[in-house]
Every structure is written in structure tokens, then in C-alpha cells.
Structure 1
Amino acid sequence: MNVSERYFKEAFIEHLSKGSLRVISPLVVRALYSSTLRRVAMKEIEKRIIAQMEAVAKPEFLPGVQRDKADMISALLNSAERALEKKLISPSILHRLINTFLTNVVFSQDREARSAVERFRRMHKGQPPPGFLVISPTKSCNLKCTGCYANSWTGKEHLDWDILNRIVTEAENLWGIRFFTISGGEPLTYRSHGKDLLDFVHQHSDSFFMMYTNGTLINDRTAEQMAEAGNLSPAISIEGFAASTYARRGKGVFGKILKAMNILRRVGLPFG
């Protein structure tokens, strides 16, 4: 390890221990893209997350559940490390991920969010607020998958933009939530007041969103908008190989999903 790498290693660990990821995010990005520093950085991040879990654990928490959570975190970080090694995450998106998911969600460095959590605990005898929120903006979907509840819905029911915005804003302000799961219907079909879901995540740039999607509506423009936002990660539904996917989702869907995945890789946007 040369002098420069040693400096970055020491600086990374020092600032991470102080909880100042937002301030040094360029340093963190450089560390995570360095083959020498990446392992050190990921190990320090993993230690910090598990330490925070242990700090909030209560005696009634089952040890096995806590171990499962720790294993899940390790698996997630290992996946992220492999993606970084293969350069599947662009530097600009990684920077946004640090400032949203890692900083606000994992390390809870958002002061307003921490204050909201503390207020909630005081009002509810020490009980914490929900850690995340699942919301379905629309029941509409462009597919008719066998066995899916959305398949039985023929209308265009959706949450009005103002209601959706109010729900998420209140969750942020009253509960300190910074992580949201978007379900459906197909979230990318959402439209209200001339706006769509990508407009919405742009508006809530300090929160991180995971979106369940069938992937068929992800094109170059959509992927670039997601990458620009940097706080939305798609989780693509697929049955397996072509035959099983076609059987449930329809002919041609498997190919569209593979195309969407290739587009997301090209723009460096993480997906599941």
C-alpha cells in the first residue's frame, strides 16, 4: 500500500468513525473504487452497521433473528462489493447512493430524521417508529400475469399526487423514515397531475426508494432518469428462464426484462 492509499485508508476510517459520510462522500467514493481500499471500506461499513444494530437491540430480541439480520447485511455488502469490482455502479450514482441510502437510511445521519424518531419514542413510551413504509401508488399494470391481484383489476385507480406526497412527507417528518418500498400494480404506469413516479422520487431526494417492477417499461430514457435521481433502485420480477416467465407473464416479456437489465447495467444503476 503506497502513501496515498494509506492516507485514504486512515482518513476513511477516521471520518467513518465520526459518522461524517456526507461530508467526505468523494473520499468514500474513491475508497470504494480502489481495489486496495474497497475491502477495508466495506469491512468498516459492515462493522458500523452491525454495531448500530447491537446498540438498539433489546433483551427480548431473539439472538437467531439478530444473526440473520447480520448475515443479510453481510450478503448485501458482498453483493455491492462485487458490483463495484465489476464497475456496474457508476461513480455519480455511487455518490448519490452514499448521500441517500448509506448516509440517511443506514447511518441515520439526517438530523431531522433523528429528531423525528426521538419525538416518536418520547410519545410512545420508548417504542421506535416504523423503519420503512410500503406504498402502492397505483393498481394499474401493463401486464396481465397469472395469479397476480393486479390482473383482476381493470380500472385505473391510483393515489392522487397530493395524497401520495402527503403520505411520504408525513412519514419523513413524523417518523423519520428515509426508506420506502414502492409496490403496485406497475409503479412506472403511475400518472397524476401530469407527473410520474420519477418526478416523485426527484422531489424526495433525501429518501431512498426500492421499486418492484416488471421491468418492461424501463427504456433508455427511464433508466437515465433513474440514474440521475440516484435514489431509486428497481427490483425486477422474473420467474426464472424464458419458458416459465412467458407462461406467467406473457410472450416476449423475458426478452424485454433482459433488455431492461442491460440498459440498467449500461447506466450503472444497481437493481435486483
Structure 2
Amino acid sequence: MTDATKLADYIQNRTGGKKVEMGLVLGSGLSGLVDLIEDATIIPYEDLMGFPHAGVSGHSPNLVIGTLEGVHVAVFGGRAHYYENGKPDTMRVPLETLKALGASTVCLTNSSGSLVEAMGPGAQMLITDHINISGNNPLIGEQGDARFVDMVDAYDPKLCAIARAGAQQAGLTLHEGVYAWFSGPNFETPAEVRMAGILGADAVGMSTVPEVILARFLELRVVGFSNVTNMGAGMSATAITHAQTKEVAARAAQDFQALIRGFLQQYGS
């Protein structure tokens, strides 16, 4: 029995055997969505061996199992980042556990810096592809042919279509674009932001990409949303701070929650 299977059995015992269809990983400042979950069972990460300690303010390190808009979800209230421990596979155990719980899909969310003038702070972006600028990979050291993961349509086209329909239903503007992963923890330099734009990125951030790689390795379908909290370095006269990103994420929380709820309503219909 694998560690993930043991964890899944433990979680099933804690929840009374609740079904899980989808995982939802919440980014910085987005934990308010947890309050909307019905019939919720809350399990602290510290009770789950191998789960990371989410050490960044704005994250709530709990696994919440319940129902949201009729969809049976496992909500990860926080994530660990590569820059916290130097391990790109730091979210592997949670995703393996999600798979062992029977989920087929994971919805990944984050906060990001925009490289597009028309997509300012408070905007929501559907991630349609990514660029791994960090050069790190959670599958390094993995053995066997399964490590050679096809990343075409890593962000599932059918789920993206559902996301668009959900945003339209909620009356929200949903931008679309490519997300570039920088390792952090420092924010990007203006030169790095310009480079990312030249390469085709529309937003930059410090998470999500390793999780997408792991999810596709585990054959989980992926959809991703980015909550824009700032313009990229050098694009604004305002200095970028973590406090600022949390504040903007909190202000945009209502739109973000409406976006996710609209997506789930369409997903479950």
C-alpha cells in the first residue's frame, strides 16, 4: 500500500467516506472560498503525513472535504512553494492523495503579476499554457517511461471551455493567457519581466507549474486560474510587496469566488 493510499484511507475514515471528484488548490489570499463549502470536514495538514507546511502568509494549511455547487471537492487551503524548501515536488503527496481519493480533475489557482496593460490588478486569467522559466522540474529523478509526460493541452481544452461558460454565466470578464513560473522568493526584475513577455508570457508567478507537471504525470485533468494582483516589475511606479498582493487578492475575492462557483456549476451540469 502506497503512502497516498494510506492517506486516502485515513481521510475517508475522517470524512465518513465522502466522495471526491475534484481537487482545488487555493493560492495566496484566496482561502475565503473554504467558507462556502457545504458539509465540510476540515483536516489540518499536520495530521497528514507527507503534506507540506504552507509557510507563506495568506495560505491556510488545511484539507477541506465537502461539496461546492454540487461538486464533491477536496480543497487544499494552502500550497508549499519551491522556494520554501528547494523541492519542486513539494506538492506531490497531496496530488497523489487526491488521485487515490478518486478525483479525476484538479483546479489550480494562484496570484500573479500581469505583463499585459489591459489585464490589471483584480483581473482573472484562465491559464491556457505555461513557460517553465525556473528550469526546475518535479519529475527529475523519476524512473521509467512515464516521466516523459506530454504537455500538449496540459490545461485541458474541455475544462477551459467550461471555465469560459462559467465566467459568462457569472457575468465576469475572464482573460486568457500563458503563465510563466519563476522560482522566487524575490519578485522578478524588470528585465526578467521583459524577457518573459518576449517569450510569450502574459503573467508571472512563483507556483502552479510544478503542480501541473505532477498532475499530468498522475493523469489528472487540469484547469488553472490566475488572480492578477499587480503589474510586472517595471510596469508600474508602485513597488511590489507580498502585503500588496494579499490585499489585492482579498479585494478580488468576491469575483474569484464567483468565477470558481460558475465553473463548478457548469462542470456539474
**Could you say which structure has the greater relative contact order, defined with CA pairs below 8 angstroms and 6 or more residues apart?**
2
Q: Which has the higher strand share?
A: 2
Largest Rg, 1 or 2 = 1
TM-score with structure 1 length normalisation? 0.29
Please, what TM-score do these two structures have when normalized by structure 2?
Answer: 0.29
